[in-house]
Structure 1
Amino acid sequence: MDHIMFGDTPVSRCIFYRRVCDLPANIDPPSLGRIIMKATHVWALTMPTPLGQAVKHDMGRRGTAVGPIVAHPRSARWTYLIRPDVPDDVPLFADLFRHNVSVIREGGTVALPSPTPQSGAIRQWIEPPRDTFRPSGLVVIASIRACVAPCRMRAVSHV
């Protein structure tokens, strides 16, 4: 793929997200420069910041690449961009929900960092995307389980 240098604007950032990182990003609304991504071939797991930090540390300790992570400082949450391999399993979602973790599946929306001044305080990259790599959702969930083990997150047989 051709790597073209762009100034850092919402449009150039969207082009980078699409061409280099294969993220289906769009500017919405154009007047504000907010960048969003509809979940299609990329899903996400959103969790409280302390759990997100623990998961990142756990994955690093295991030698597992974390992939892109978005921080939402005002809501104190982190979003991990993942491969869409999380099964449609109500008990799993209930367990995740008990730990304030949500799965953003097909059709959901993820807000991505934008270079506009107002967006910089709203969303920031903890781990920016550099290419098309995203970890398996199941791997991130396994790390969540390890981090909340004292809370006894119930194991789901096929995860």
Structure 2
Amino acid sequence: MNDPTFTDTPISRCAYYRRTCGLPAGIHPEAGRIVVKAGFVGAITMPARLGLRVRDDMLFRGCPLGPVVAHIRSRRWTFLCRPDIPEDNSLFTELFRLDVAVVPFGGEIALPSPADSQIPSRTWIVPPRDTFRPSGAVVIDYLRACARKPIR
């Protein structure tokens, strides 16, 4: 299929993220990187090992997953969620100790882009298929539960 109308480009991928997934994505023109500003969308970033445990625990307990992005070089995962995490310094301190961060309002959330195809830097662990994103507070609850359990 060499028809260029079916080629995956940053513009076509960004349009998919916007129309189908309800993600207000934009493109950095110099790099072709696709980003979403935190605000309408929330995001929680954590080490991949912890992210794997959180994802598996959510699946095991029947909690629906939203999109999850892997940042390959930094070995971190970002869970996209609803931005309902309260501004609470004690919560942010607790998360900091776990090497977890809530992307602040206005912060950029980088999404996988076809521009990454030469040297992939981001990939979907759980790709977005629609507008669903779990509550950020629920993801935090699963994260806390997983952090308390010893690694086997």
Distance 1:117 1:140, change over 3 A: closer
| Corresponding position of 1:21 | 21
Q: Which runs of 5+ in 2 are unaligned?
A: none
Structure 1 counterpart of 2:12: 12
Unaligned runs of at least 5 residues, structure 1: 152-159
Tell which deviates more after alignment, 55-64 or 116-125: 116-125
Equivalent-residue separation in structure 1 for 2:116 and 2:51 (angstroms): 25
- Whether the 8 Å CA contact 1:49–1:78 is kept in 2: the answer is yes
Percent identical: 56
TM (normalized to structure 2)?
A: 0.91
1:30-51 Cα shifts (integer Å, max 9, x gaps): 2421111111210100000000
Q: Is the 8 A contact 2:116 2:122 kept in 1?
A: no
Alignment of 1:78-157 (within 5 A): 78-118=77-117, 121-150=120-149
Paired AA for residue 112 in structure 2? P
- Does the 8 Å CA contact 1:84/1:105 hold for their aligned counterparts? no
Q: Would the aligned equivalents of 1:113 and 1:120 in 2 still touch at CA under 8 Å?
A: no
**Which one is further off, 84-93 or 110-119?**
110-119
Distance 2:98 2:87 in 1: 18
Shift in Å, 1:116: 2.0
Would you say the 8 A contact 2:47–2:99 is kept in 1? yes
Q: Which residue of 2 aligns with 1:154?
A: none
Q: Which residue of 2 aligns with 1:56?
A: 55
The count of corresponding residues between Structure 1 and Structure 2 is 146
Taking a change above 3 Å as real, the CA distance of residues 117 and 42 of structure 1, as seen in their structure-2 partners, is closer
Report if the CA contact (8 A) 2:10-2:27 is conserved. Answer: yes
Amino acid at match of 2:97: R
Q: Which residue of 1 aligns with 2:38?
A: 39
Tell me which residue corresponds to 2:73.
74
SS in structure 2 opposite 1:87? coil
